[in-house]
Chains A and B, each alone.
Chain A
């Protein structure tokens, strides 16, 4: 059973470009979480999605950031018109829908560098 997969692992963008980060959850997992880790800081929650639904986006910046988790395919975190402050590691985690077991499995992260 493959773990959570994220791609690309490293992404370089110039200011003003768009960044698309992909996350494939573990097989059988229907919950996806995105977190951002700025350099030398802890992870901060961004958004929580289930298939075709955004459940909680309280941690998402109000502009330029969006996320989706379509019925088929990976979850996508999209950042439009990137700025240098968007440079960070973006981690995706997935879990099963089970009140008694909600361990989150994390992917290896995508490191975004904005030039």
Chain B
């Protein structure tokens, strides 16, 4: 699975959009981009995933560049409860299991 690079930490003001970048320059054509987050002391929580088109759900939007070498997770109106470590993960979807490889992630601090 392709390796990802994320900034170690970011701050965001409450109510503003949080834009979390991820580089995955070695991604291959059949690999998806997944985002999970881990709020302190809890299990990771799935946020969103995509292949090449932009995606949006009730939690966030995912913007993937045309060359698929990078992506941005957008939390449109960050709240204090969005403070967490956000993990960008690239993996193939296949029938043999999809174990997640967590890197260092980005520690997002939402401030009042």
Residues of chain A having any CB pair with chain B under 8 Å: 4, 31, 33, 35, 42-45, 48, 55-56, 59, 91, 93, 95, 99-100, 102-109
A-B pairs under 8 A by CB, number: 55
Interchain CB contact under 8 A, B94 and A42: no
A91-B43, A104-B46, A109-B43 given; A42·B99 CB < 8 A: no
**Complex Cα–Cα for A1 and B95 (A):** 25
Interface SS of chain B: helix, strand, loop or mixed? loop
Q: Which residues of A contact B44 (CB under 8 A)?
A: 43, 91, 93, 106
Chain B: interface residue total (CB-CB under 8 A): 22
Q: Name which of B43, B97, B98, B105 has the most chain A CB atoms within 10 A of its CB.
A: B43
Q: Mark B89-112, 1 if CB is under 8 A from A, else 0.
A: 000011111111111110000000
A-B contact pairs, 17 of them (CB 8 A): A4-B43, A33-B97, A42-B102, A42-B104, A42-B105, A43-B38, A43-B44, A44-B102, A45-B101, A48-B97, A48-B99, A95-B98, A99-B93, A100-B93, A103-B49, A108-B43, A109-B42
